[in-house]
Structure 1
Amino acid sequence: MDEEGMNQNGSKSQGAGGQVPATTPSEVLMRDFVSDWSPLHDASIHGRLLALKKLINQGSDVNLVTADHVSPLHEACLGGHAACANFLLKHGAKVNGVTVDWHTPLFSACVSGSVACLNLLLQHGANLHPPCDLASPIHEAAKRGHVQCVELLTSHGMNIDHNINHLGTPLYVACENQQVDCARKLLESGANVNSGKGLESPLHAAARSCSVELVMLLIDFGADIWAKNAESKRPMELVPPGSPLGLLFLQKEGPLSLMQLCRLCIRRCFGHKQHQKITGLLLPEELKHFLLHV
């Protein structure tokens, strides 16, 4: 946004003769003062660390927010600028600030896919549980294919099967957006392969997108090919009968092999964080690779 014609509080109003009215120091330093935009936000979103340091040293409030309650920390994380986020946090930025859209800095970091910003926020006490289901960090990371963000969030204890009415589970979101690597990471971490959005399973979402890779991945992790959605349709009924995916479903209609049943049973016993637990078992590497779907 053009900074000309704006006062220090980010207001677009001007005094007589087009002159920008003066702003008192008390107004500049007022915490949580609402503004449309500020040089501090601009420096944060663009990763201008030197400018950010200068503004803060001159007395700018690190928690200055826009009319939508967007803070400089939100902007730094949205831009993926860890150095700026770190400086703001060290100078008292609110790690759990919420915008009018319920976005937290943690959510913004998942939008940008910045693992560095995510790490910083978690180290400074960022809340893993979103204040509102309209903005869930792990769902956003899964939607955008940010595998490392998903892995970091789950390793810190975020609910891997958090089911939101209008979104479903993170696994469902990953499948709906054809994010194969995220889906794999969620499954390796113990996500419920059959938990989706209402009666719609992740396999339904993969079938709708005609993703052979996703369908094979889900079935390999024990997805129920007979599950019916709200329209009483199985995943195989959502693809053209003669398509490669349709043929794949036909091949998988038979009973599971004993090896597959044993693998699924063992993985269910481990629950979440399966990858880490299986790796530490005193078993032959070949067997561990089988359990890990390598």
Structure 2
Amino acid sequence: MEKEIAPSRPNYFGEIGCWAERTQVHEAASLGQAQRLQQLIQSGAAINTMTMDCITPLHEACIQGQAQCARLLLEAGAQVDVRTVHGSTALCNACAAGSPECAKLLLEYGATANPTLTALTATPCTRPASEACSPAGSVDCVRLMIAGGAELETYDIYFGTPLHAACTKQHVECARVLLNAGANVNAARFHETALHIAAKEGNEDLIEALVAFGGNVYARDNRSRRPVDYTRPGSACATCLQFYQSTPLSLQELSRVTCRRSRGMRAEDSVCKLNLSPRTISYLSYH
């Protein structure tokens, strides 16, 4: 049974209309039953109804990657930035599900790429950019979030920055996309950098990528440990980090890192606009 909310009552989620247990609209959206959902909408079913966890049918559609159902709901007036009790928006769900179709659709309907802390959220909510690097996340979702203006230094209490999240989940390509877009390679979460995480995960490809973008192999965390201290002696990751500790970067690598530091994290974009020869631009480019 649904309970109507009085218009005068304060509502942190906007005028959602009512709350209830999971409805037929939730079920149809979750299962991708587009025809049934359309019939429910046409019959006047409430599309912004929330469960007790503040989950709307749009959340359900996006967490399952049901783009057609998400479109039907948005066209019918579904509120795009409603937050669950955990602070997640539908865009967070779409990115967590690794659904670029849903993410693109939500951004087209005005979804916020950088949702803020709300009065009902006790801890910083999970950000779409970080969710895009989750186990089911995708490079396409990361690119969409960057194009949508996602803040790459946004700090999540659980994962840290999106780059931290990518390294925790060992998404090498996601990490590269974030770094190319300007993510700070030495950003720290409790003094722990992405390079510490890559070393803990034993991922040599991540270590190589992070060092190429200026990752500090000497950085110490809150236990005064360097990344190499988290590797197994004799392992490929230990050998890799020991090599970088004892061997200077090449002239090309030093030039890239220096350019990045002097012209900002999005140095590559600005260098391409300078009056330099194509060969010089290619020399400074990470691509």
**TM-score computed with the length of structure 1 as normaliser:** 0.84
Aligned counterpart, 2:127: 136
How far, CA to CA, are the matches of 1:152 and 1:175 in structure 2?
19
Q: CA deviation at 1:274?
A: 4.9
Q: CA deviation at 1:176?
A: 1.4
Task: Trace 1:217-236 onto structure 2 (pairs within 5 A).
Answer: 217-236=209-228
Aligned counterpart, 1:263: 256
SS of equivalent to 1:206 = helix
How far, CA to CA, are the matches of 2:275 and 2:30 in structure 1?
48
Aligned counterpart, 2:120: none
Task: Trace 1:74-223 onto structure 2 (pairs within 5 A).
Answer: 74-132=59-117, 133-144=124-135, 145-223=137-215
1:131 to 1:259, Cα distance in 2 relative to 1, 3 A: closer
1:274 to 1:56, Cα distance in 2 relative to 1, 3 A: farther
Structure 2: which 5+ residue stretches go unaligned? 4-14, 118-123
State the one-letter code of the partner of 2:204. Answer: V
Which digits, 9 at most, give the CA deviation of each residue in 1:115-168, with x for residues without a partner?
Answer: 121112112111222233232111111123421111111122111111234321
Which digits, 9 at most, give the CA deviation of each residue in 1:5-44, with x for residues without a partner?
Answer: xx7x59xxxxxxxxxxxxxxxxxxx953222111111111
State the one-letter code of the partner of 1:234. Answer: R
Q: CA deviation at 1:272?
A: 4.6
Query: 1:31–1:63: 8 Å Cα contact kept in structure 2?
Result: yes
Q: Identical aligned pairs, as a percentage?
A: 35
Considering only aligned residues, what root-mean-square deviation do their CA atoms show, in Å? 2.2
1:281 to 1:78, Cα distance in 2 relative to 1, 3 A: farther
Which digits, 9 at most, give the CA deviation of each residue in 1:205-260, with x for residues without a partner?
Answer: 00111111111111111100000011111111111232222221221123333322
How far, CA to CA, are the matches of 1:130 and 1:271 in structure 2?
25
Structure 1: which 5+ residue stretches go unaligned? 1-6, 11-29
For 2:27, which of 42, 57, 61 is the aligned residue?
42
How far, CA to CA, are the matches of 1:31 and 1:208 in structure 2?
44
**TM-score computed with the length of structure 2 as normaliser:** 0.86
| Bigger-Rg structure (1/2) | 1
Aligned counterpart, 2:9: none
Q: CA deviation at 1:57?
A: 0.6
Aligned counterpart, 1:249: 241
Q: CA deviation at 1:282?
A: 6.1
Aligned counterpart, 2:7: none
Query: 2:255–2:284: 8 Å Cα contact kept in structure 1?
Result: no
Query: 1:188–1:274: 8 Å Cα contact kept in structure 2?
Result: no
